[in-house]
Structure 1
């Protein structure tokens, strides 16, 4: 193992980034993706690779950057299927041999349009049903927007609130789910029929999530007898309801024929009609549909519902088992090999844990993985859930693959660790600790503390306070290529990452502390935290830094208007919020709901929005006391538009505060291009070092 001398931004950003480990049906191989950027060549290589589970040997299946949606072909031992984008928007379906990656791959089908989000299901007759997502044309068929006749003008006209999302405009045509089958004839697989539109002759758009960062395949599933999916009306009545959706089911007698009926909604036995849905799954026998439901009025109160395909009614699973809702909302789930058990991930005190739950009254969940953040899990062998192949990560580990025994008879076995448990970069779990303190309203607040690997308790260090984004989010024991806590610590800083009011993973009531209190309970939690940290001898309080992104940037704005900001020597403000009422109506997500107890509009809910507005004149006057501040905002951020960052920067400049503005013309809410990310990191670290008098620790 080659150990990096220093864990620098260059090392972080040029390290291979690998995806989840997906075992072959026979449990001998792992299929995964990996991307590696070279700063010397200014090139990112994207690969699909195979690893032998027993030996750890890895082979490349393909390094074609046009390949996507690679996965095992069900009903085979080790065949791999993937989609490949071609010229002028075409898409090909390719088949490869996992046992012999060098063996010639072949084309099983081709479509004259972009398709993505591939999902597969082996059928009893030996064929394989597949579903993909693609655009719908005016004639109801699959649409290729890359061959659409180019107009002389770039004008787009919108008659509804769906205009921008993340970093792009909504497309002119809606998405639909398309299905067909693959059959094996004479030893080769091929497509057996035209693609059929599951939402044909409806106004629905499916699946939900095609513009989001999460995997859209979570929002639909296939059984032997039909397709279930989350869909939304592409013409919402108000900007507040852009993301409102529902779960639908279409029974199918054949995956090569048009749908026999229109999609039928699953009926919820509750009064809340406006809600968010995700993680749709059929039970193994296809008789039940399960999914996660979050009411519009309280979107953090995620609950798992299940219903029979015959009745179209759904019931709350945790109430059935425990007689009440869960202490911690589920994050994701899968059926555990039968219709009577589930594997569930739950965010819990800065971790994402994996547990097993039997679907019977009075059952207790069995914890399987409690450390780090579980991001994926699969049965090691198809149909056998006694052993799982689990992918996770932590603050010091970018990718850990391990075999977990669900019977708890044997210890977990590590298959592969990307960073050798941190040692590859000079990191260790001893760098990470945590503490609890008393926040506002008698709440007990959890915080991570990350120290440099060469930490010396006899010295005091410059330190960074990190209010997180969201705001309904949290700091997790997880790896990131953006705000990597271990990387920041290795620059010579102690990091304080508190999960203040609004944080998830501590119960719905704790998260709800932020409702009608954006600058209230969360800010007071930080005030109390500062008092808690005062006695710690290794924190140099003359060299304190505050840094936040998104809602974290909002909190930095709010702090600029308060006396507490005088305690900091430096600030980092990334893609945050300056003027709350204006932000609420210009963001790509115009959310109402519980945050401000009503509509997100100044004319109808002005008092509530102004209460927590950092841009109130009496607060802006205090910005003259802000420390030297680096403001970062990118032009394609439609979640927190760049005008927020420009306003914050201009306010600081007008009041004589030393400040600098960093922007990227091609980045969005996150800085994703490795070359841009390198500039981001270097600029941030140089600004911090300059304004705290160096990053070196000093004698106590």
Structure 2
């Protein structure tokens, strides 16, 4: 094992990044994606690879960055299907043999349009149904926006669906398209044309095609149809952005057009504005399960289940837990039958995997409790006794292990990308945690990350990290953007508190953010500063505050308070300056409980101004802000760049040392490795310049 002498930004950004481990139907091989950037060549190698479960030997299946959506063909031993994007928007379906990756791959079908989000399902007749997402043209067929050449770049919009994350909404809607694969004489081919599952409707599906999450979680396939989540594309107001619903379209054949339109699953509650996620058929196809949260209480995520025959749904969580306190689920899969689930839950800075029986008063059995579980599959198709689980943590970018659901044997590690941190000189001993008393008797959890060579007799500059969201949390997880181990290895102690609004501590704790954007979360930070005062290894004369998104909002709010005088330096990334204006510019203008109603000045002005960092009396205090680096990219449509420019100009106008870093091609996150290197260099150099007392570090 080659060990990095120093964990630097270049080491972090050039390290291989692995996707989830997906086992072959027979459990002998693992299919995964991997990318690695070379700063010498300024190139990123993207691969699809295979690893033998027993030996750990790995080999390449494909190294073309146009290959995507690779997965095993169910019902086979080691056959693989993947999509490959071609010139001018075309897409090909390719077939490969995982047992012999060098064997010639072949094309099973080609389509004159971009398609993605591939999902497959073995059918009883030996064929394999597949579903993809693609745009719908004016004629109702697949649309190729890559060849839709126009003389002008002008776009006209008639509703608020204009921008999302880093792009404009497309003029065409997405739809789900389906057909079947048939194996004839040892070769797979597609039977018939792609059929539009939502033809004749005004729906757009699957939900999440513009989001950062996997749109494959928003639809599923059974022997007799397709279930999916679709967004309401014509809500009455921008405040209802993201409202969606679950639908089911029965099919008599996966080679013929639907004979009926999709029907919505009827909820057994009066509330109609809601958010849905993770829709799944039960193994026998008779039930549809999904996660639901209401517009008025979005943090209260619950599992619902309905029947394909009645189109009605009921609250499974209420049936199992009654009124007992519980943690909202993040994701789930049926555990091989219709009566139990494998479920992930955020719990005190971790995302745990559990097994849950669907019966009254059942208790979940924890299977994986450390780190953050990101994916899990039965090791062998249809056999849920053993699972292949993918997770990560603060010192390990990718951990694959086999877990026994009965818990009679210990988990077996298949692969650790960082050798449990040792590859980069990291260890779990760098990470600890504590609890302290927040405002209003709340008990607040925080991580603290120290350098690997930490000496308790020395004093260290330290960094306070209010997280984004605000409905989010710091997790025991790896990141290539705000990597806490990397910051610690530069000689800092990091404090990452999960203040009011954080997830993983119960619905009531998350709800502490409601109508309290600059209230309870800020007061939790005030109490934290008092808690940290006696710690002998923290140099409070060299304290730094750094925040992104809502964390950037919190830095703005702190600039208006006396507490900011306790910090020697600040980092403000893609944050918020003027809250009411931000809510009219952002691509996420949802209202609900966070502001006690619509987030608009004309109807909710008092609430919006209450927590607005740009109130004149607060802006006057910005003259006391420490030297501040403002970072904001031009294609950030979540927190528009005008927020960062306003914050920077306010600091400049009041004589505060400040610098502005921007990227013309980045969005809410700096993703290009070369740009990310500049981000890290600029941030660390700015901090080092203004806390003083230490030698400049070698990047």
TM over 0.5: yes
Could you tell me which residue of structure 1 aligns to residue 159 of structure 2?
160
- Are 1:53 and 2:53 counterparts? yes
Q: Distance in 2 between matches of 1:558 and 1:23?
A: 48
Could you tell me which residue of structure 1 aligns to residue 144 of structure 2?
144
- Are 1:421 and 2:420 counterparts? yes
Could you tell me which residue of structure 2 aligns to residue 460 of structure 1?
459
Could you tell me which residue of structure 1 aligns to residue 592 of structure 2?
593
Q: Distance in 2 between matches of 1:580 and 1:276?
A: 24
In 2, are the aligned partners of 1:331 and 1:344 still within 8 Å (CA)? yes
Offset, 1:151 = 2.1
Could you tell me which residue of structure 2 aligns to residue 471 of structure 1?
470
**Closer, same or farther in 2 for the Cα pair 1:587/1:80, shift >3 Å?**
same
Q: Give the 3-state SS of the residue equivalent to 1:302 in structure 2.
A: strand
Offset, 1:595 = 0.6
In 1, are the aligned partners of 2:232 and 2:245 still within 8 Å (CA)? no
Offset, 1:294 = 1.0
Q: Give the 3-state SS of the residue equivalent to 1:434 in structure 2.
A: strand
Query: What are the equivalent positions in structure 2 for 1:1-40 lying under 5 Å apart?
Result: 1-40=1-40
In 2, are the aligned partners of 1:461 and 1:696 still within 8 Å (CA)? no
Could you tell me which residue of structure 2 aligns to residue 128 of structure 1?
128
In 2, are the aligned partners of 1:544 and 1:567 still within 8 Å (CA)? yes
Could you tell me which residue of structure 2 aligns to residue 529 of structure 1?
528
Provide Cα deviations, 1:76-102, integer angstroms capped at 9, x if missing partner: 100110000011111000000000000
Q: Distance in 2 between matches of 1:416 and 1:693?
A: 41
Moved more, 244-253 or 231-240: 231-240
Q: Distance in 2 between matches of 1:313 and 1:218?
A: 21
Could you tell me which residue of structure 2 aligns to residue 622 of structure 1?
621
Could you tell me which residue of structure 2 aligns to residue 389 of structure 1?
388
Q: Give the 3-state SS of the residue equivalent to 1:118 in structure 2.
A: strand
User: Which sections of structure 2, spanning at least 5 residues, go unmatched?
Assistant: none
**Closer, same or farther in 2 for the Cα pair 1:382/1:326, shift >3 Å?**
farther
Offset, 1:241 = 1.9
**Closer, same or farther in 2 for the Cα pair 1:306/1:325, shift >3 Å?**
farther
Offset, 1:318 = 1.5
Q: Give the 3-state SS of the residue equivalent to 1:459 in structure 2.
A: coil
- Are 1:221 and 2:220 counterparts? yes
Could you tell me which residue of structure 2 aligns to residue 172 of structure 1?
171
Offset, 1:616 = 0.2
Q: Distance in 2 between matches of 1:242 and 1:560?
A: 31
Query: What are the equivalent positions in structure 2 for 1:124-523 lying under 5 Å apart?
Result: 124-148=124-148, 150-324=149-323, 327-523=326-522
Q: Give the 3-state SS of the residue equivalent to 1:193 in structure 2.
A: strand
Q: How many residues align?
A: 696
Could you tell me which residue of structure 1 aligns to residue 636 of structure 2?
637
Offset, 1:237 = 2.0
Q: Distance in 1 between matches of 2:591 and 2:500?
A: 19
User: Which sections of structure 1, spanning at least 5 residues, go unmatched?
Assistant: none
In 2, are the aligned partners of 1:174 and 1:234 still within 8 Å (CA)? no
Offset, 1:235 = 2.2
Offset, 1:236 = 2.3
Provide Cα deviations, 1:26-72, integer angstroms capped at 9, x if missing partner: 00000000000000000000000000000000000000110000000
Provide Cα deviations, 1:114-136, integer angstroms capped at 9, x if missing partner: 00000000000000000000000
Offset, 1:452 = 0.2
Provide Cα deviations, 1:426-453, integer angstroms capped at 9, x if missing partner: 0000000000000000000000000000
Q: Distance in 2 between matches of 1:470 and 1:397?
A: 24
In 2, are the aligned partners of 1:230 and 1:246 still within 8 Å (CA)? yes
In 2, are the aligned partners of 1:519 and 1:558 still within 8 Å (CA)? yes
Q: Give the 3-state SS of the residue equivalent to 2:459 in structure 1.
A: strand
**Closer, same or farther in 2 for the Cα pair 1:398/1:243, shift >3 Å?**
same
Could you tell me which residue of structure 2 aligns to residue 96 of structure 1?
96
TM-score (norm 1): 0.99
Offset, 1:493 = 0.1
Q: Distance in 2 between matches of 1:140 and 1:236?
A: 23
Q: Distance in 2 between matches of 1:360 and 1:615?
A: 51
**Closer, same or farther in 2 for the Cα pair 1:523/1:572, shift >3 Å?**
same
Provide Cα deviations, 1:643-689, integer angstroms capped at 9, x if missing partner: 00000000000000000000000000000000000000000000011
Could you tell me which residue of structure 1 aligns to residue 44 of structure 2?
44
Could you tell me which residue of structure 1 aligns to residue 563 of structure 2?
564
In 1, are the aligned partners of 2:161 and 2:169 still within 8 Å (CA)? yes
Offset, 1:360 = 1.4
Q: Distance in 1 between matches of 2:38 and 2:291?
A: 40
Provide Cα deviations, 1:602-632, integer angstroms capped at 9, x if missing partner: 1110000000000000000000000000000
Offset, 1:213 = 0.4
In 1, are the aligned partners of 2:433 and 2:448 still within 8 Å (CA)? yes
Could you tell me which residue of structure 2 aligns to residue 691 of structure 1?
690
Q: Distance in 1 between matches of 2:59 and 2:510?
A: 45
Q: Distance in 2 between matches of 1:512 and 1:694?
A: 42
In 1, are the aligned partners of 2:165 and 2:637 still within 8 Å (CA)? yes
Offset, 1:364 = 1.1
Aligned-residue CA RMSD in angstroms? Answer: 0.9
Could you tell me which residue of structure 2 aligns to residue 613 of structure 1?
612
Q: Give the 3-state SS of the residue equivalent to 2:306 in structure 1.
A: strand
Q: Distance in 2 between matches of 1:517 and 1:178?
A: 44
Offset, 1:696 = 6.5
**Closer, same or farther in 2 for the Cα pair 1:422/1:181, shift >3 Å?**
same
Q: Give the 3-state SS of the residue equivalent to 1:40 in structure 2.
A: coil
